[in-house]
């Protein structure tokens, strides 16, 4: 009880003294603001990239790949195998009673950027019948859907905005033949990348291929996953494996995200160290300026522990506003901003989780910065300090 | 000079405070050095990428590969000086997560001049590759990763089958090569002719041609000429110089400069604020001492300069220490970022930055010290 009473009094004294040392107090606040602001803004890139990739992911959608493929591009599913997959149990059926199992063949084709004129690869995905059932988030904003068997494609609006010859009515030369762009679409919550769809068999014949990359399946429910996998295991004709859509999407951004997260924490940590040092320095000065008060209190019976606790609490109370301001500024300036630091663009996302993370870092900076000054405050030799002016 | 002891004793009046300021400036300039080094490194990497080496690949990623027979036609295109080629084969060592990329190259001396900065191989290693059809050259990185040494036999599994139907390719390590910048410990270099002879499918094809233009300035024209020549063939090409590749990489990193600038501004603001308040505090605490100095006849200007000198003497060495620290980290970061470097420009900018930080943070407190009224200050009013 004594401890709490003493702590409350010391804290009150410390905080009432803050206006007299406004500059010193602001050192902590501004240092933490900068460190947290930078950390949160940079992590917001990673969160944004992940959100972009995972935006449309649904737990009931899975992809069937060949068993040895490390990823979609190495996977090979011949048409006869694709046909077998459609007959497996656990697959949802569309309005006309057909199973939603869409074979897909992906090729990378080059497109020219509007701004720089440089060539960049984009995925042209050939999809079998049932694309609309599999991906209801794909909705046309202009034109119409491609027709099977014809050299027609629909392109995302990202393509239409960033690259040449992707608007409805444009023709593109792919594999030496002219393709007609018949539609533009939005793709639900992930619109960052350029991608185009056409008929699967058109891709196979135009690119001289004999097999699809994978078969995309909508399950009756996420719980039907085991039933579906067991059916595949039980069929000796199928050398395939099943991946949740979420896993494939996460694989896609893992490398980019790894870099972003590493750089964010690296830079954030250096800034945090600088802020902690600055905070420690200003707290030392504040503690020194309160020598007489502190030693007087020690002389009348205050113990050391509350002195330490009060100084630490003061450091934390100064760091928290810094964190809030930093996270707030990051949100104000960068939330929703489009960035393309590593080749593809996405919106930065400053989430409550990131704000909480920032506050956590601020707590760390406060405690580490306050520790040494707090110990010094508690250890001041009473007689010497009282004798000094 | 005669004021040096005065400046020195001022600095060590509160050793902990000075040490902390020194550390803070040092840490801030470490970050400055690393970020600037990164930026300069990237610019330099582009400038060093040869503009005269053209990379000729299929117009569509993946298939179909280019026939090696195109080589003579490429060589006959005006402006093309020499042609080489490669064929890459994705394999794995022991388990699928341990990817090894086998780059088949012709073991000719031409390979030594194509990317002299990036791909470095000694003549004796090339000679070993020529003599041993199943030979491969490894990099130090991949050797360390899997504990491989020269003389080892390495089985690699690939989806590219051999004529006997086997998916396992056994290679002999016969030498070393160096791959700068992008080596992530996944590349090995094999004899193209051996791979081509041993594989079941796609015989007589290559992944890419390297066409070396006789005049770097004509690289774009030559690229277009190559693509035009093959436009209506069975295997249309897409040609780009390595410089273009590097520039595209940089463009995709376009927002990076903005990010670096923002981060450094944030650091500078926090640093200047922190040092300013500390200097203010110092001057406030020393008011009586400064008054005594003035009583002894020190002019306003001298007092100003003494205080300013204290700040400079701390900040400049601290910034140099920070840059040195950044420089020490470069070898570790070189794995992730190409060509990190710290030219004198950055050091100069660092010192300039330190002077700026010192001058800005000391100007107000030093002015206050200079304007002290002796009577008030001695009375501590």
Distance between first and last Cα of chain A: 33
Contact A63, A127 (CB under 8 A): no
Which pLDDT score, from 0 to 100, does residue B194 have?
A: 92
> With contact defined as beta carbons under 8 Å apart, do A300 and A39 qualify?
no
CB–CB contact A285 B262 (8 Å)? no
Termini Cα distance of chain B? 32
SS3 B250: helix
pLDDT score, position B355? 93
Please give the structure tokens belonging to residue A369.
């910065």
Q: Assess whether pLDDT exceeds 70 at residue B91.
A: yes
Range with the poorest average pLDDT among A116-120, A171-175, A251-255, A382-386: A116-120
- Whether residue A362 has pLDDT greater than 90: yes
Burial of B224 (0-12, 13-18, 19+ CB in 10 A): exposed
Find the mean pLDDT for residues B235-257: 74
| CB spacing of A175 vs B159 below 8 angstroms | no
pLDDT at A327: 93
Instruction: Give yes or no for residue A341 having a pLDDT over 60.
Output: no
Would you state the pLDDT for residue A161?
A: 87
Task: Say whether pLDDT at A322 is over 90.
Answer: yes
What percent of chain B lies above the pLDDT cut of 90?
28
Chain A nearest-CA residue for B257? A341
- Inter-chain contact B61–A209, Cβ cutoff 8 Å? no
CA distance to partner chain A, nearest, from residue B277 (Å): 6
pLDDT for A338:
73
Return d(Cα B157, Cα B162) in angstroms, integer.
Answer: 11
Q: What are phi and psi of A113, to 5 degrees?
A: -70, 145
- Residue of chain A nearest B268, judged by CA positions: A34
Q: Which of the residues B220, B227, B234, B281 would you substitute to probe the A interface, choosing the one with the greatest number of A C-beta atoms within 10 Å?
A: B281
Interface contact A27-B99, CB threshold 8 A: no
Residue B200 burial (CB count, 10 A): 12
* CB A275, CB A365: distance < 8 Å: yes
B62 has pLDDT over 60:
no
Q: Is the pLDDT of residue A176 over 80?
A: no
Report pLDDT for A122: 84
Q: For B100-138, how does the pLDDT look when each residue is reduced to its tens digit (9 = 90+)?
A: 889 999 988 888 888 777 788 999 999 999 999 899 999
Q: Give chain A positions within 8 Å (CB) of B20.
A: 277-278, 280-281, 284
pTM reported for the whole predicted model: 0.77
ipTM associated with this complex: 0.78
pLDDT recorded at residue A229: 92
Check pLDDT > 80 for residue A175.
no
Task: Judge: B238–A207 Cβ closer than 8 Å, yes or no.
Answer: no
Residue A382 — pLDDT band, cuts 50, 70, 90?
Answer: confident
Give the pLDDT mean for A209-229: 91
Residue B381 pLDDT greater than 70, yes or no: no
Dihedral pair phi/psi, residue B176, rounded to 5°: -120, 155
Nearest to A324 by CA among A296, A302, A357: A357
Nearest CA to CA, how far is A96 from chain B (Å)? 37
- B5 half-sphere exposure, CB direction, 13 A CA radius: 1
Interchain pair A30, B273: CB under 8 A: yes
pLDDT at position B137, please? 93
| Domain boundary assignment for chain A | 2-54+253-387, 68-238
Beta-carbon pairs below 8 A across chains A and B: 130
Mean pLDDT across chain A, nearest whole number?
87
- Note the helical H segments in chain B: 4-11, 15-48, 70-76, 111-114, 123-131, 140-146, 192-198, 219-230, 242-252, 254-285, 287-295, 300-333, 344-370, 374-378
Under 8 Å between Cβ of A75 and A379:
no
**Quick one: pLDDT band at residue A72, thresholds 50, 70, 90?**
confident
Q: Report CB contact under 8 Å: A278, B280.
A: no
Q: Is the dihedral of CA B87, B91, B97, B98 positive or negative?
A: negative
Residue A228: what pLDDT? Answer: 93
pLDDT score for B182: 60
Out of B21, B231, B267, the one facing A34 most closely (by C-beta) is B267
pLDDT tens for each residue of B346-358: 889 899 999 999 9
Residue at token pair 């902690």: A276
Higher pLDDT, B343 or A15: A15
**Res. A76 pLDDT band, cuts 50 70 90:** confident
Q: Mind listing the pLDDT tens digit for each residue in A16-43? A: 888 888 888 998 999 999 999 999 998 9
Tell me the residue length of chain B. Answer: 381
């Amino acid at each position: 009880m004594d401890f709490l009473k003493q702590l409350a009094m010391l804290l009150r004294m410390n905080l009432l003294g803050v206006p007299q040392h406004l500059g010193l107090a602001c050192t902590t606040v501004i240092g933490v603001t900068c460190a947290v602001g930078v950390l949160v803004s940079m992590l917001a890139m990673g969160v944004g990239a992940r959100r972009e990739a995972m935006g449309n992911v649904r737990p009931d959608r899975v992809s069937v790949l060949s068993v040895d493929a490390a990823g979609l591009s190495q996977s090979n599913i011949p048409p006869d195998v694709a046909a077998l997959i459609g007959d497996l149990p656990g697959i949802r059926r569309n309005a006309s009673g057909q199973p939603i199992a869409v074979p897909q063949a992906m090729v990378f084709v080059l497109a020219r950027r509007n701004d720089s004129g440089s060539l960049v690869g984009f995925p042209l995905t050939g999809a079998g019948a049932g694309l609309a059932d599999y991906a209801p988030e794909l909705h046309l904003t202009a034109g119409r859907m491609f027709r099977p068997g014809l050299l027609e494609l629909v392109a995302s609006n990202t393509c239409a905005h960033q690259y040449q010859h992707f608007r409805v009515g444009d023709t593109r030369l792919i594999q030496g033949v002219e393709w007609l762009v018949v539609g533009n679409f939005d793709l639900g919550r992930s619109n960052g990348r350029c991608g185009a769809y056409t008929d699967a068999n058109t891709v196979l014949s135009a690119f001289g291929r004999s097999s699809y990359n994978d078969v995309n399946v909508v399950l009756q429910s996420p719980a039907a996953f085991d039933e579906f996998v067991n059916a595949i295991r039980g069929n000796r004709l199928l050398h395939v494996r099943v991946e949740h859509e979420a896993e494939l999407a996460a694989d896609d951004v893992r490398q980019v995200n790894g870099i972003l997260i590493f750089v964010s924490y690296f830079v954030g940590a250096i800034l945090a160290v600088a802020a902690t040092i600055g905070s420690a320095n200003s707290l030392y000065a504040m503690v020194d300026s309160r020598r007489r008060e502190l030693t007087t209190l020690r002389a009348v019976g205050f113990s050391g522990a509350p002195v330490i606790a009060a100084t630490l609490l003061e450091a934390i109370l100064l760091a928290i506003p810094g964190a809030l301001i930093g996270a707030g500024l990051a949100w104000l300036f960068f939330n929703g901003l489009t960035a393309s630091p590593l080749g593809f663009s996405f919106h930065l996302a400053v989430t409550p989780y990131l704000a909480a993370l920032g506050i956590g870092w601020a707590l760390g900076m406060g405690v580490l910065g306050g520790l040494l000054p707090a110990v010094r405050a508690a250890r001041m030799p009473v007689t010497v300090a009282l004798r000094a002016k | 000079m005669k004021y040096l002891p005065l400046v020195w004793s001022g600095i060590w009046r509160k050793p902990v405070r000075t040490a902390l300021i020194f550390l803070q400036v040092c840490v801030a300039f470490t970050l400055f050095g690393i970020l600037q080094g990164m930026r300069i490194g990237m610019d330099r990497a582009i400038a060093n990428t040869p503009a005269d080496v053209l990379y000729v690949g299929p117009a569509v990623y993946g298939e179909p590969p280019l026939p090696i027979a195109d080589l003579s036609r490429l060589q006959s295109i005006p402006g093309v000086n020499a042609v080489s080629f490669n064929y890459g084969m994705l394999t794995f060592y022991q388990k699928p997560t341990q990817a090894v990329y086998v780059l088949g190259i012709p073991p000719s001396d031409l390979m030594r001049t194509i990317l002299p900065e990036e791909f470095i191989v000694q003549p004796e290693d090339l000679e070993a590759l020529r003599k041993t059809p199943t030979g491969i050259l490894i990099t130090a990185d991949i050797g360390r990763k899997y504990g491989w040494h020269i003389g080892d036999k390495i089985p690699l599994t690939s989806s590219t089958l051999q004529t006997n139907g086997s998916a396992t390719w056994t290679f002999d390590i016969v030498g070393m090569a160096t791959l700068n910048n992008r080596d992530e410990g996944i590349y090995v270099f094999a004899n193209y002719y051996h791979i081509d002879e041993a594989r079941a499918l796609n015989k007589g094809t290559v992944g890419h041609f390297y066409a070396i233009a006789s005049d770097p300035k004509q690289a774009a024209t030559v690229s277009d000429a190559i693509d035009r020549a093959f436009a209506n063939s069975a295997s249309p090409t897409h040609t780009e110089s390595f410089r273009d590749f590097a520039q595209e990489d940089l463009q995709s990193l376009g927002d990076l400069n903005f990010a670096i600038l923002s981060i450094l501004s944030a650091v500078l603001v926090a640093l200047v604020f922190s040092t300013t308040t500390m200097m203010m505090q110092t001057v406030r605490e020393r008011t009586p001492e400064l008054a005594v100095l003035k009583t002894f006849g020190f002019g306003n200007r001298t007092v100003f300069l003494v205080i300013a000198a204290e700040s400079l003497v701390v900040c400049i060495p601290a910034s140099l220490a920070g840059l040195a620290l950044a420089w020490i980290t470069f070898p570790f970061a070189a794995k992730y970022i190409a060509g990190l470097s710290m030219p004198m420009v950055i050091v100069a900018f660092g010192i300039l930055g330190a002077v700026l930080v010192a001058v800005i943070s000391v100007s107000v407190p030093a002015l206050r010290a200079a304007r002290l009224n002796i009577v008030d200050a001695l009375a501590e009013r």
